[in-house]
Structure 1
Amino acid sequence: MSESAQIPGTGPRIIVGNDGSQPALHALEWALDHARAVGGSVTLLRAWTMSTAPRPSTQTFGYVPPRADFEQAVLEDLRADVAGAVASHGQGVDLRYEAYCGPAGNALIEASHDADLVVVSSRGRGGFRGLALGSTSDQLVRHAACPVVVVRGARTNETERTRTLDAAVPTADEQPSE
């Protein structure tokens, strides 16, 4: 199921995987900035299963709503999770929202066949925190049908880390003489 905020443009189609995590927001910000720079459109994709989907408003004791109600609840959560990033980085970008029932890796690989670029964070909500690359990102870079960008961390943190590393490396003038 998908919802469109605007009519898709004719530029590159960019798919962004979003699981609601903070790293996924950084990937979305990167994708929105890139889409604006190249005149592309962004499709936000959230994978879900019955165990991970939010409870639809139509669900009551003894009644399991239809799949479409679960998809709608997933899309509502997706919109709420990304509202701040879209407001601050999404001006002028054609934006769509899609929910996919199934594993995130499968969703992104399938979407990559109709995309020009897929953007994901290096890590999402699940798995082991110490890993540099999560299982979904790893699966995607191995099997996607288009280029993949893996965004690692917040840009502000990476910029700060780079400045710190640059300050720690001596310049040619500061190199000890032999």
Structure 2
Amino acid sequence: MIQRVEIDGGVVVGVDSSASSARALVVAAEEARRRNTTLHVVRAWSLRTAPRPADCPPNAVPSMDEFQQEVRADTERIVASKLGEHEGLPVEFHIVHSPSPQALLSASKGADLLVVGHRGRGGFAGLMLGSVAEQCVRHAACPVLVVRPNV
């Protein structure tokens, strides 16, 4: 399983199933187009956050590879629904079995820009920034753009 993300330039965006990350994805794609560079879509997952493979029987436990494939397919669906065909924009997927902050911070070491939503799937709605966004702002090795929701 991949646990770190290593890239060489481009715009990195953290994606999960939250509305905040969907907005960050759109903004990151705009930035990548402006910069004429690759969009790197990072999806970190754990057994707790991974979608269950639809073809897995109810009493069976999916393998790590099956979870990895399902997370990739889910991420590709999210990107397609928000960006369409993304013509002319090179997109690379990085599906990582890792905590989100570690995956995004490792990607930031080679990125030109890291884009994150202001809040992900965590449970503390009253926070100004989600814990992942806050860790990225504090520790990323490149500039970080935190995307707020449309108001």
Q: Same fold (TM over 0.5)?
A: yes
Relative contact order, CA 8 A, sep 6+: which one is greater?
2
Larger Rg: 1
The code of the aligned residue for 1:64 comes to V
1:127 positional shift: 2.5
Equivalent position to 2:112, from 104, 111, 116? 116
Equivalent position to 1:147, from 139, 143, 147? 143
* TM-score of the two chains, using structure 2 as the length reference: 0.86
Asked if 1:37 corresponds to 2:34, the answer is: yes
Q: Secondary structure at the match of 1:32?
A: helix
Q: Secondary structure at the match of 1:149?
A: strand
1:58 positional shift: 5.5
Determine if contact 2:12/2:107 at 8 Å carries over to the other structure.
Answer: yes
Higher mean displacement: 64-73 or 119-128 = 64-73
The code of the aligned residue for 1:18 comes to V
Structure 1, unaligned runs of 5 or more:
3-7, 158-178
Match of 2:88 in 1: 92
Instruction: Supply the distance in 1 between the matched residues of 2:61 and 2:110 (Cα, whole angstroms).
Output: 33
1:61 positional shift: 5.4
1:63 positional shift: 4.3
Match of 2:128 in 1: 132
1:56 positional shift: 2.4
Runs of 4 or more consecutive aligned structure 1 residues displaced over 2 Å after TM superposition: 56-66
- Alignment map for 1:1-178 (pairs within 5 Å): 12-57=9-54, 59-60=56-57, 63-87=60-84, 90-154=86-150, 157=151
1:135 positional shift: 0.2
The code of the aligned residue for 1:132 comes to M
- Number of equivalent positions: 147
1:24 positional shift: 0.9
Determine if contact 1:58/1:69 at 8 Å carries over to the other structure.
Answer: no
Which of the two has greater helix per residue?
A: 1
Structure 2, unaligned runs of 5 or more:
none
1:77 positional shift: 0.9
Instruction: Supply the distance in 1 between the matched residues of 2:20 and 2:48 (Cα, whole angstroms).
Output: 22
* TM-score of the two chains, using structure 1 as the length reference: 0.74
Instruction: Supply the distance in 1 between the matched residues of 2:64 and 2:81 (Cα, whole angstroms).
Output: 28
